[in-house]
Amino acid sequence: MSEETSIFGPYTHAKSSISRTMGLVMLSLLPATLFGLYQFGWPAIFLFLTTIVACVLAEAFSLRVAGKPIKPFVMDGSAILTGWLLAMTLPPWAPWWIGLIGALLAIIVAKQVFGGLGQNLFNPAMVARVALLISFPLEMTLFNQPVPMFSAQAPGFLESLAITFGSSDAIDAVSSATTLGHLKTELGRGVALPEAATTTVSIWQQLWGQTSGSLGETSALLLLLGGLFLIYKKVINWHIPVSMLGTLALLAGLFHLIDPNSYVGPMTHLLSGAAILCAFFIATDLVTSPVSIRGQILFGAGCGLLIYAIRTWAGYPEGVAFAVMLMNACTPLIDHYLKPRIYGRDRKGQPLVYSNEGTDRK
Amino acid sequence: MSTGKLFKLFKIRGGVHPDDRKQLSAGQAIEKLPMPPLLHIPLQQHIGAPAESLVRRGDEVKKGQLLARNQGAISAPVHAPTSGRIMGVGGYPAHHPSGLSVRTITLKPDGEDEWLDKLEPCDDYYQLSPEEIADRVARAGIVGMGGATFPSAVKLNLRKRYRLHTLVINGAECEPYLTCDDRLMREQAMQVVEGVKLMARALDVDHILFAIENNKPDAQASIREAAEDTDIVTVVGLPTRYPMGSEKHLVQTLVGKETPARGLTADIGVVVHNVATARAVYDAIALGRPLISRVMTVTGESIQDPKNVEVLIGTPLNNLIDYCGGFREVPERLISGGPMMGQPLPSLRVPAVKGSNGLLALSDKANKTTTEMPCIRCASCVNACPCGLVPLDMANHIKAGSLDSSVKLGLLDCIACGSCAYVCPSHIPLVQYFNYAKGELASRQRTQHKQNETKRLAEARTERMEKIKRAKREAMAKRKKEMEEKKRKKADKAAVAGAES
Ligand code: SF4
Ligand code: SF4
């Protein structure tokens, strides 16, 4: 019998560990990621790898500076996941230094400065994305059409190296606005929506992801698949995704009904941009979302509301990162006020009282 | 018997599904352990005051003879598990993680295993009044045998203070590995059901829910069969989920009501007793036999031949291990009870007691110890907690040293079921924090109590002294006054006398 182990039970444990949780999240991201990498070709792969490697190195470096053991923390997979998620939200042909700076911001500023694993208030990937968007608006909004690997227009390996690591104007040839970006511009020019929408891709293409957009955000269907897998595996509860997407769809539907000419419909809101990715993988980030069910519902609804508001009335076509960060800031408050009801007590924490007849008298 | 198939169950929150590992011992019929060379019978095997020894070194005792009587209302007597000679009454390591020495009677069996002749079996026990049943249960030293070890008679007497309507028999046995209740229900269904009926009579309720988890279909069937000719017993199949056997959650599952915080299930009209307790009640009343043995599951990956054994109270645990073929490998850990809520054993010398339901020798495969990582706020513990607590918050407050705020978060509502720690991906020993905090609070309360008591005593003393002083002063003043009076009278007299003369 070993001495150092705990005195109290349980003496059996579920097959759970941090690395298993992170691994499951990565597994469920895999289909959409592979699709994104395939569709945007070698430059996307380079960017993806750069971001992840930079995150892991930044993590190891910070742990070393903080004097913490490196191996267990690097092995837990959280840094890889942060890099992965960040890369998913970057324009696929962005230069390597976008990935690198993003990684440093995410790991060092957003995570380790707060105290490392589990201590950060904001979602590291979203902090990085917002900071990048503000600092490098040009690079962060330059999207390109899908040019699937092995297709005729796809850049070759060397050309791709030049796109990611050197200076190549190849992107200008294939640059294209995202659906939301396009609609926003057209609306700004006074074009009515039904007209503007004729030039965007079909719903089916949005569903599959055959459209321009961030590296891993385009395929709503594959992301949805991964998200459902996470719920099935009980890594996340269904409450945040459902309340977030529900709120977004509800608002979009409502305004679209009122004025179809200037408000984008719910399908486009749900399927384009980072909505699905956010609902299942970003808003549900374990560390930065509330822990109680009621808290999660409120959090999800808040995200949905803010995303809609930012997309519709603010200057950016996409509002996911801002929305999530704003809600992250509310998480401690939500957790403080929305606790589960304790067994045998009412919501105020007073013991339940039953009258003599045995009926509730709460 | 009414059918339990259509019985409506209510949902409880949280819970986990640990690998139940019952197949290791579920197929083994109960065997009687051969007489051990020595028995160590602790005087305290129950919640409440320890029993008071009635025997001395050298006494010869018969099987079933009273060895120690209960002290106070919440206590239980202890009887001789076999005939033999008392070797001494003194300190012996307790069946407790601390292994501290507690007062224990050591008995050397004489091998005759001879019963006391003045047992009082009772054939027409249906004629007994509730008082008589409770009284006999008290005298037989029966305590809650599911592990709680609360004196059963006290629970049977709840009818005096509460309006009860239902007796629930807890046959959930939701802890992994344990199979002793399962075997008892399968092999001694008649005795169990008779015991249950006796308890219902003592409680004066005519509604019995016999709850058994669905992973024990054989037990359900045999209890159904044994209860066929009574219509007050309903056998209810429970979903297999831990902690289904937690008293308050079991009751909620069955009647749909939560027991008020800090209250008893009796507050909502329900009393819960365990299967093994029911058999002990039958033995005590029908056969007149006190509680001197119980069934234990000896199992775990490190045990050669896992078994269910009927052991005499006081049997040192190494006898059980030997009987089960010894260890297959050096066990990583020895546990008394189940793996979720059981406690580590300090050594195998400690005796089996009334509340021991299992002896587990776990290998490191089943018990992988992983290093503790920081909390990632994954909410697994929140989802798993059957009590609606936020374990991560409580642990954080305890770590930060603010016990009072952890109490505000519901620390005292935690039933220490371990579901939270079971699922935590960061392997944070949450229950350990909670138990530490509860212990700390209890000891603070004791200190506070002691301080108050000392203060009260000191004040009382000062007051007493004051009183004495005052009394003295008054007495003196009175004497003085009297003296003066006398003097004056004398003077008066003298004056009068002077005047007369
Ligand atoms: S299960 Fe463990 S890691 Fe997850 S929130 Fe609870 S304490 Fe934190
Ligand atoms: S041990 Fe306490 S906090 Fe943890 S799950 Fe059980 S009741 Fe909840």
| Residue A355 within any structural domain of the chain | no
How many H helices and E strands in chain A? Answer: 17, 0
- Looking up tokens 């390591």, which residue turns up? B93
Residue A47 binned pLDDT confidence (cut-offs 50, 70, 90): very high
Q: A250-305, pLDDT tens digit by residue? A: 999 999 999 888 888 888 888 877 889 999 999 999 999 999 999 999 999 999 99
Out of B261, B293, B312, a domain closes at B312
**Of B235 and A172, more confident:** B235
A294 and chain B: CB distance < 8 Å anywhere? no
| Residue A96 within any structural domain of the chain | yes
* B219 and B119 assigned to the same domain: yes
Q: Which two tokens stand for residue A179?
A: 């659906």
- Looking up tokens 């469920």, which residue turns up? A28
Q: Which of B409, B414, B422 to probe ligand 2 with, by most ligand atoms within 8 A of CB?
A: B414
* B379 and B304 assigned to the same domain: no
- Which pTM does this prediction carry? 0.85
Res B210: pLDDT: 95
| Residue B46 within any structural domain of the chain | yes
How many C-alpha atoms does B440 have within 13 Å on its Cβ side? 15
Residues of A in contact with B96 (CB under 8 A): none
CA nearest to B310, candidates B321, B325, B295: B295
Measured CA to CA, the distance from residue B354 to residue B362 in angstroms comes to: 22
| Residue B413 within any structural domain of the chain | yes
Domain count, chain B: 2
B197 and B42 in contact (C-beta within 8 Å)?
no
The residues near B436 (Cβ < 8 Å, ≥ 6 apart) are B398
| Residue B14 within any structural domain of the chain | no
Mean pLDDT of A128-141: 88
Would you call B418 and A356 a contact, using CB atoms and an 8 Å cutoff? no
DSSP secondary structure string, A15-65?
Answer: S--HHHHHHHHHHHHHHHHHHHHHHHHHHHHHHHHHHHHHHHHHHHHHHHH
For residue A314, give its domain range.
18-337
| Residue B321 within any structural domain of the chain | no
How far apart are the CA of B385 and the centre of ligand 1, in A?
11
**Shortest-distance atom of ligand 2 to CA B381:** 5
Neighbours of B54 (CB within 10 A): 16
- Local structure of B494: helix, strand or coil: helix
**Of A151 and B261, more confident:** B261
User: Which of the 8 DSSP states describes residue A340?
Assistant: P
Measured CA to CA, the distance from residue B479 to residue B483 in angstroms comes to: 6
Residue A169 binned pLDDT confidence (cut-offs 50, 70, 90): low
Q: A293-318, pLDDT tens digit by residue? A: 999 999 999 999 999 999 888 877 77
| Residue A358 within any structural domain of the chain | no
Residue B378 Cβ < 6 Å to ligand 1: yes
* B404 and B268 assigned to the same domain: no
| Residue A29 within any structural domain of the chain | yes
Measured CA to CA, the distance from residue B464 to residue B164 in angstroms comes to: 48
| Residue B329 within any structural domain of the chain | no
Q: Which two tokens stand for residue B404?
A: 């009072």
User: Which of the 8 DSSP states describes residue B249?
Assistant: H
* B293 and B429 assigned to the same domain: no
A354 and chain B: CB distance < 8 Å anywhere? yes
For residue B490, give its domain range.
371-501
| Residue B336 within any structural domain of the chain | no
* B130 and B245 assigned to the same domain: yes
- Looking up tokens 């909410």, which residue turns up? B379
**Of A124 and A182, more confident:** A124
* B391 and B461 assigned to the same domain: yes
Residues of B in contact with A291 (CB under 8 A): 377, 379, 382, 390, 392
Instruction: Suggest the residue from A5, A13, A234, A334 to mutate for an interface test with chain B (most B CBs closer than 10 A).
Output: A13
A22 and A77 in contact (C-beta within 8 Å)?
yes
| Residue A157 within any structural domain of the chain | yes
- Rg over alpha carbons for chain B, rounded to the nearest Å, is 29
Residues of A in contact with B98 (CB under 8 A): none
Q: A173-185, pLDDT tens digit by residue? A: 566 677 777 777 7
Would you call B13 and A291 a contact, using CB atoms and an 8 Å cutoff? no
| Residue B496 within any structural domain of the chain | yes
Q: What percent of chain A has pLDDT over 70?
A: 89
Nearest protein Cα to ligand 1, atom 1? B424
Measured CA to CA, the distance from residue A84 to residue A54 in angstroms comes to: 11
Would you call A13 and B388 a contact, using CB atoms and an 8 Å cutoff? no
Mean pLDDT of A39-61: 92
| Residue A7 within any structural domain of the chain | no
Residues of A in contact with B147 (CB under 8 A): none
Per-position pLDDT tens, chain B of length 501: 444 456 888 988 999 999 989 999 999 999 999 999 999 999 999 988 899 999 999 999 999 999 999 888 889 999 999 999 999 999 999 998 888 899 999 999 998 898 988 788 888 888 889 999 999 999 999 999 987 889 999 999 998 889 999 999 999 999 999 999 999 999 999 999 999 999 999 999 989 999 999 999 999 999 999 998 888 899 999 999 999 999 999 999 999 999 999 899 999 999 999 999 999 999 999 999 999 999 999 999 999 999 999 999 999 999 999 999 999 988 888 999 999 999 899 899 999 999 999 999 988 765 555 678 899 999 999 999 999 999 999 999 999 988 889 999 999 999 999 999 999 999 999 999 999 999 888 888 888 888 888 888 888 888 888 888 888 888 888 888 888 888 887 777 777 666 655
How far apart are the CA of A188 and the centre of ligand 1, in A?
47
**Phi/psi of residue A177, nearest 5 degrees:** -80, 155
Q: Return the CATH number at B415.
A: 1.10.1060
The closest CB to that of A10, out of B331, B383, B422, belongs to B422
Domain count, chain A: 1
pLDDT at residue A5 greater than cutoff 70: no
Out of B270, B287, B312, a domain closes at B312
Which residues on neighbouring strands pair with residue B295, listed in sequence order? Answer: B310
Q: A14-27, pLDDT tens digit by residue? A: 888 898 999 999 99
Q: What percent of chain A has pLDDT over 90?
A: 46
Measured CA to CA, the distance from residue A325 to residue A37 in angstroms comes to: 27
**Shortest-distance atom of ligand 2 to CA B430:** 4
Measured CA to CA, the distance from residue B451 to residue B187 in angstroms comes to: 54
Buried b (16+ CB within 10 A) or exposed e, A112-124: beeebbbebebbb
| Residue B37 within any structural domain of the chain | yes
| Residue A326 within any structural domain of the chain | yes
Res A174: pLDDT: 61
Q: Return the CATH number at B222.
A: 3.40.50.11540
* B377 and B292 assigned to the same domain: no
B242 and B18 in contact (C-beta within 8 Å)?
yes
Measured CA to CA, the distance from residue A119 to residue B231 in angstroms comes to: 58
Can you give the three-state secondary structure of B377-440, one letter per residue? CCCHHHHHCCCCCCHHHHHHHHHCCCHHHHHHCCHHHCCCCCHHHHHCCCCCCHHHHHHHHHHH
Out of B296, B312, B328, a domain closes at B312
Q: Return the CATH number at A78.
A: 1.10.3430
Helices (H), A92-236: 96-104, 124-135, 137-140, 157-165, 170-174, 179-188, 193-197, 203-208, 220-232
- How high is the ipTM of this complex? 0.85
